[in-house]
Amino acid sequence: MIEFKCVSKKYPSGTLALNKIDLHISKGEFAFIVGPSGSGKSTLLKLILKEEDVTEGEIYVNGFNITTLKPKEVPYLRRSIGVVFQDFRLLPKKTVYENVEFAMRITGALPKEMRRQVPMALGLVGLSKKADAYPDELSGGEQQRVALARALVNRPSLLIADEPTGNLDPETSWEIMKLIDEINHRGTTVIVATHEKGIVDSMKKRVIAIRKGEIIRDQQKGQYQDET
């Protein structure tokens, strides 16, 4: 589903954020991306979304070479990927329902589809009862659930989460990670960049460790850090 072939990313500033990355993530997988701040995790995710272009190499997403994707085709790529961020990025003047609905509306979805899909996405994250609330009336964990519902409402094949629990307390972080795991078990491929050592160590998922723009470890049922 995702293939990096000798991918490098050098920013105009001269920083080499990723150096000759080879990576394969299959459909249905759950992969953590770990590494110190500045190691290149966000850059890797931005390349998959084509928010940044590679300097060298090729990236395939769902069989398409996205490095040669035309600008007008980029929205189709983004539509197949749900994204959540550390800071939730909800629209403050819209209700929970409207936030999720908006993500469908901009893809040109029909009202009938939205009436079916929005409640389903809210149900999936356990927020059906908060549909009419505004983001500032919700806890951080609830806001991240809304962001997850919004990311999933268009039924993407891939979910990308960049530090999704960075603003949450430990217990809530666990709930969000469990929810992401459940979403994975329902068939969505998941990539999570995170610093949550405790969670990574107990979830026993694939761990891709990045350091200074290089993959230094890629383990099934891995740990945040190699004990050796």
Scanning 9-17, 99-107, 169-177, 194-202 for contacts with ligand ADP by CB under 6 A, the matching segment is 9-17
Which residue of 25, 39, 50, 135 would you call a contact of ligand ADP, by CB under 6 A? Answer: 39
Nearer to ligand ADP by Cβ, of 127 and 158: the residue is: 158
Nearer to ligand ADP by Cβ, of 38 and 198: the residue is: 38
Residue carrying the six token digits 């990236």: 59
Q: Does 28 bind ligand ADP (CB under 6 A)?
A: yes
Nearer to ligand ADP by Cβ, of 9 and 150: the residue is: 9
Alpha helices in the chain (DSSP H): 41-48, 74-79, 96-105, 111-124, 140-152, 170-185, 197-203
Q: Does 194 bind ligand ADP (CB under 6 A)?
A: no
Residue 100 Cα to chain centre, angstroms:
16
Q: Does 11 bind ligand ADP (CB under 6 A)?
A: yes
Q: Does 187 bind ligand ADP (CB under 6 A)?
A: yes
Q: Does 204 bind ligand ADP (CB under 6 A)?
A: no
Nearer to ligand ADP by Cβ, of 26 and 139: the residue is: 26
Q: How many other C-beta atoms can be found within 10 angstroms of the C-beta atom of residue 161?
A: 27
Cβ 48 to ligand ADP shortest distance, Å: 12
Reduced to 3 states (helix: H, G, I; strand: E, B; else coil), residue 63 is coil
Whole-number Å distance between alpha carbons of 114 and 25:
31
Residues forming a β-bridge with 218: 208
Q: Does 221 bind ligand ADP (CB under 6 A)?
A: no
Q: How many other C-beta atoms can be found within 10 angstroms of the C-beta atom of residue 184?
A: 18
Closest CA to 32 of 227, 226, 183, 218: 218
Residues in contact with ligand ADP by CB under 6 A are 11, 13, 15, 17, 26-29, 35, 37-43, 185, 187
